[in-house]
Amino acid sequence: MAVEAIIFDFDGVIIDTETAELEVWQAFYRAHGLDISPELWAKRIGYNEEDAFHPARYFEQITGTVLNEAQREDQFRRYVEHCARLPVLPGVRELIEAASQRGIKLAIASSAYREWVDRWLRQHHLSHLFDCIRTRGDVKRGKPAPDLYLSAADCLGVPVKHCIAIEDSPAGISAALAAGMRCIAVPNPLSARMALPEATLRLNSLAEMDCETLLAQF
């Protein structure tokens, strides 16, 4: 079945902001003689804010210490500074550019806020390559519900059966499959430890295949 559109998750697929956020919070916890495990952090990956694990809230629960606004802002600043040093993940830019040249429509379906996605797309000069961006503010239900992917496909004007989703997390893969899309799973170092739903194709990196070879799988 012809591929007319590729819809990317953002965090963990285009840039590995998920590992970066864990590292920032691990440093904070260790400074207080505590630790935060990747297994616990897994409950944060791919979910909307309402359903995700919250490191600040968890710290308050286990210590009884409420973080003030300055502390929360400092953590976010450290996270943004870490993300600003991150590259686009291997093979991502090449796939985006090659697919665009072939006339394949491109979109993002992210559980993050639009401002967050736009910030890093601008930094890496990728914004102009996407035909549509859908984020948590565009739908009532986030991943693992299919709404973000359905909204992105509708925005592109492409039937879901002609779309491929690229995801890294269980919630994201479940959302894409529930939308009726074929899905490429490309887990990052955190989500690789998790039990993932059975995707159409699983890769360790998008650099494993060029665009032509990848599309031939579908």
Q: What is the pLDDT of residues 134-170, one digit of tens each?
A: 999 999 998 899 999 999 999 999 999 999 999 998 8
In this structure, the answer to whether residues 115 and 212 fall within a common structural domain is yes
- Strands in the chain per DSSP E: 5-8, 105-109, 132-134, 163-167, 182-185, 201-202
> Is the model's pLDDT at 48 over the cut of 90?
no
In this structure, the answer to whether residues 115 and 168 fall within a common structural domain is yes
In this structure, the answer to whether residues 119 and 191 fall within a common structural domain is yes
138 has catalytic annotation: no
Confidence of residue 38 (pLDDT cuts 50, 70, 90): confident
In this structure, the answer to whether residues 122 and 78 fall within a common structural domain is no
Q: Which residue has the higher pLDDT, 42 or 214?
A: 214
Q: Which residue has the higher pLDDT, 189 or 178?
A: 178
Kindly give, in sequence order, each residue whose CB lies less than 8 Å from that of residue 8, ignoring residues fewer than 6 positions away. 14, 92, 96, 106, 107, 108, 109, 165, 166
16 has catalytic annotation: no
Yes or no: say if 130 and 93 are a contact pair by the CB < 8 Å rule: no
pLDDT at 147: 97
- Torsion angle, CA of 188/144/153/163, rounded to 10 degrees? 50
Which CATH number do you get for residue 62?
1.10.150
Number of domains in the chain: 2
Q: Residue 123: phi, psi to the nearest 5? A: -60, -40
Cis amide leading into 90 (omega within 30): no
Rg (CA), the chain: 17
Other CB atoms within 10 A of residue 75 CB? 19
Among residues 84, 112, 127, which one ends one of the domains?
Answer: 84
In this structure, the answer to whether residues 58 and 104 fall within a common structural domain is no
Q: Which of the residues 11, 16, 147, 168 is marked catalytic?
A: 11
Among residues 84, 103, 119, which one ends one of the domains?
Answer: 84
Other CB atoms within 10 A of residue 14 CB? 25
Q: Looking at residues 75-96, what average pLDDT do you find?
A: 96
pLDDT, the chain, mean? 92
In this structure, the answer to whether residues 74 and 145 fall within a common structural domain is no
Which CATH number do you get for residue 107?
3.40.50.1000
Other CB atoms within 10 A of residue 1 CB? 8
- Of 71-75, 192-196, 207-211, the one with minimum mean pLDDT is 192-196
Residue 194 is part of which domain span?
5-15+88-216
Among residues 39, 62, 84, which one ends one of the domains?
Answer: 84
In this structure, the answer to whether residues 73 and 154 fall within a common structural domain is no
In this structure, the answer to whether residues 149 and 205 fall within a common structural domain is yes
In this structure, the answer to whether residues 180 and 133 fall within a common structural domain is yes
In this structure, the answer to whether residues 153 and 95 fall within a common structural domain is yes
In this structure, the answer to whether residues 113 and 168 fall within a common structural domain is yes
